[in-house]
Amino acid sequence: MMGPRLTILGEPDKRSAKVIDLTDMTFDRLTVVGRAPRPEYYARKGAWWLCRCECGKEVAVDGKNLRSKNTRSCGCLRSDMGRSKLDHARQYRWKPKEAIS
């Protein structure tokens, strides 16, 4: 697989933004499908990407969070990790001694 491609967006005569094309790259459980519009509530500028998780859910993610591994899944990773920790705790939890009759 080749590395990320650098794409110049905008008109050549105007100041243009340099965006690293992350399409078809995989970050943990997320595979980048294409560009996504930046949410209006999000003040920081940057590229947003539409990603498909291994569980099948699609989610829009900030490119900076993808590359820095702050976002690794759609949220299913957290629930899976919590489930495995809970199973471990159930296995080793304190069990009271039976009452002496």
Indicate the domain borders of the chain: 5-92
Backbone angles phi, psi at 78, to 5 degrees: -65, -45
Q: Give tens-digit pLDDT for 10-52.
A: 444 444 567 788 999 999 999 999 999 988 888 878 889 999 9
| Cross-strand bridge partners of residue 48 | 36, 62
Backbone angles phi, psi at 40, to 5 degrees: -65, -30
Are 7 and 47 in contact by the 8 Å Cβ rule? The answer is no
User: What's the rounded Cα separation, in Å, for the pair 101 and 94?
Assistant: 21
- Provide, rounded to the nearest whole percent, the portion of the chain with pLDDT above 90: 41
CA distance 69 to 60: 15
